[in-house]
């Protein structure tokens, strides 16, 4: 058999299908066998190492790959978080990106972060019976510590979405010693919470199935249905928070979420501020 590589990406893809199923590698066949989704995870591109699965997914999407295709890597060299932050992605985690092509306006793309957060929290609860909660807008916490982050990136022209990449990073079998000291208090992993390694492939299967269910629900019934699920899982409303905005920080009480997913914060003087893209910190003290 002769294989002709048209470019580096094809070489990489070839490699990924010939991934040896080493002891600590994710078992692709285990994800695929019995996966009951219609389109999410029907195509899986697996890499031992990438810069970022979101970058790889973007390259595939630009080549016209079908909706629902996912990219998974054992390790990311330059994993990205929100607001240009680095995302630590050592071996043992679940670093994956999903390619979506919804027919929605770019303004609504942010709502998919909520769809994803609900799916991840529900999948963790279902599989591990852990009390996973959502911290607005894109963090999943267990015991008040971050276990998963979501990065939604959109490719648009004008008012038209070509594709959306949903990046999901889950600290699965990641030892705490791998995180820098200053993060160890705020971060956790499934391994740490469960005191044993998890079966990542089995969990990815549950995650993809749950994700497809909520994505379809969003397309069929709209954002309000998702928001109701989100409200039941959130750990922010009613809490005193600090908002880190480009103009500085301010504090207030998170009182509501609007129909587009913006967080409504009541300042001490009674003013209500709308928080859309800023980061927030939960304060211990509740006023």
Would you call the peptide bond into 278 cis, given omega within 30 degrees of 0 as the criterion? no
What does the alpha-carbon distance between residue 142 and residue 120 come to, in Å, rounded to a whole number? 12
Using the contact rule CB under 6 A, the part of the chain among 89-97, 176-184, 189-197, 237-245 near ligand BTN is 89-97
Helix (H, G, I), strand (E, B) or coil at 278: coil
Residue among 82, 91, 126, 213 that touches ligand BTN (CB under 6 A): 82
Q: Tell me: does residue 90 bind ligand BTN (CB under 6 A).
A: no
Residue 81 or 106 having the CB closest to ligand BTN:
81
Closest distance of CB 51 from ligand BTN, Å? 8
What DSSP designation does 80 have? B
**Is 47 within 8 Å of 25 (Cβ atoms)?**
no
What radius of gyration do the chain's Cα atoms show? Answer: 19
Binding mask 36-75 for ligand BTN (x = CB under 6 A): ----------------xxx---------------------
Q: Which of residues 110-129 bind ligand BTN (CB under 6 A)?
A: none
Q: Tell me: does residue 32 bind ligand BTN (CB under 6 A).
A: no
Which residues face 160 on adjacent strands?
157
What does the alpha-carbon distance between residue 35 and residue 130 come to, in Å, rounded to a whole number? 23
What DSSP designation does 110 have? T
Residue 144 or 222 having the CB closest to ligand BTN:
144
Closest distance of CB 279 from ligand BTN, Å? 9
Which residues face 68 on adjacent strands?
none
Q: Which of residues 163-202 bind ligand BTN (CB under 6 A)?
A: 167-169
What DSSP designation does 185 have? T
**Number of DSSP helices (H) and strands (E) in the chain, helices first:** 8, 12
Residue 15 or 86 having the CB closest to ligand BTN:
86
Q: Tell me: does residue 76 bind ligand BTN (CB under 6 A).
A: yes
Residue 25 or 225 having the CB closest to ligand BTN:
25
Closest alpha carbon to 13 in 59, 56, 45: 45
Q: Tell me: does residue 152 bind ligand BTN (CB under 6 A).
A: no
Q: State the CB neighbour count (10 A cutoff) for residue 119.
A: 28
Q: Tell me: does residue 27 bind ligand BTN (CB under 6 A).
A: no
Using the contact rule CB under 6 A, the part of the chain among 31-39, 88-96, 206-214, 269-277 near ligand BTN is 88-96
Q: What are φ and ψ of residue 163, in 5° steps?
A: -165, 160
Q: Which residues bind ligand BTN (CB under 6 A)?
A: 52-54, 76, 79-82, 85, 87, 89, 95-97, 138-139, 149-151, 167-169
């Amino acid at each position: 058999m002769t294989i002709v590589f048209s470019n580096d990406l094809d070489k990489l893809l070839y490699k990924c299908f010939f991934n040896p199923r080493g002891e600590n590698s994710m078992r692709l066949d285990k994800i695929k066998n019995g996966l009951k989704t219609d389109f999410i995870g029907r195509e899986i591109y697996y890499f031992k190492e990438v810069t970022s699965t979101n970058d790889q997914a973007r390259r595939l999407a630009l080549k016209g790959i079908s909706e629902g295709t996912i990219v998974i890597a054992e390790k990311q060299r330059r994993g990205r978080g929100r607001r240009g932050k680095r995302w630590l992605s050592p071996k043992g985690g679940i670093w994956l990106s999903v390619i979506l092509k919804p027919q929605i306006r770019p303004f609504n793309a942010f709502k998919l972060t909520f769809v994803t957060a609900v799916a991840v929290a529900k999948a963790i609860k279902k599989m591990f019976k852990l009390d996973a909660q959502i911290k607005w807008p894109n963090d999943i916490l267990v015991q008040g510590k971050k276990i998963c982050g979501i990065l939604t990136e959109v490719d648009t022209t004008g008012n038209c979405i070509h594709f959306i990449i949903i990046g999901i990073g889950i600290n699965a079998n990641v030892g705490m010693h791998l995180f820098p000291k200053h993060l160890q208090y705020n971060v956790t992993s499934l391994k740490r919470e469960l005191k044993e390694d998890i079966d990542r492939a089995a969990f990815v299967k549950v995650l993809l199935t749950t994700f497809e269910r909520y994505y379809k629900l969003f397309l069929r019934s709209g954002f309000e249905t998702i928001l109701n699920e989100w409200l039941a899982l959130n750990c922010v409303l009613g809490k005193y928070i600090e908002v880190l905005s480009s103009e500085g920080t301010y504090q207030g009480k998170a009182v509501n979420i609007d129909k587009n997913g913006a967080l409504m914060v009541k300042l001490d003087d009674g003013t209500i501020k709308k928080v859309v893209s800023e980061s927030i910190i939960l304060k211990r003290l509740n006023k």
